[in-house]
């Protein structure tokens, strides 16, 4: 992998951590402002800043530890 690769990491009991250059659009093709550096996307559904994570998973009881087949 080089610096231009996009990597999506599934974090235990937390968000998707995305590193690399990405564009995020809504259902009407409007672009979200994406901060520089890694971003975290909500998986728990409780974030007040969807699609971005606001750490609500920590208090919502979200439980998910998926693993890829090795």
Q: 31-52, pLDDT tens digit by residue?
A: 999 988 999 999 999 999 999 9
Is the pTM value of this prediction over 0.75? yes
From the list 18, 9, 22, the residue with the least C-alpha distance to 65 is 9
The mean per-residue pLDDT over the stretch 6-35 comes to: 95
Contacts of 45-50 with CB under 8 Å at 24 or more apart are none
- Confidence band of 1 (pLDDT split at 50, 70, 90): low
Strand order through the sheet with 39-41? 7-10, 16-19, 39-41
């Amino acid at each position: 992998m080089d610096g231009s690769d996009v990597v999506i990491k599934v974090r235990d009991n937390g968000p998707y951590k995305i590193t690399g250059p990405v564009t995020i659009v809504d259902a009407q093709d409007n672009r979200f402002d994406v901060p520089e550096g890694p971003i975290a996307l909500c998986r728990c559904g409780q974030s007040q800043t969807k699609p971005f994570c606001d750490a609500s998973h920590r208090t919502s009881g979200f439980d998910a530890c998926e693993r890829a087949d090795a």
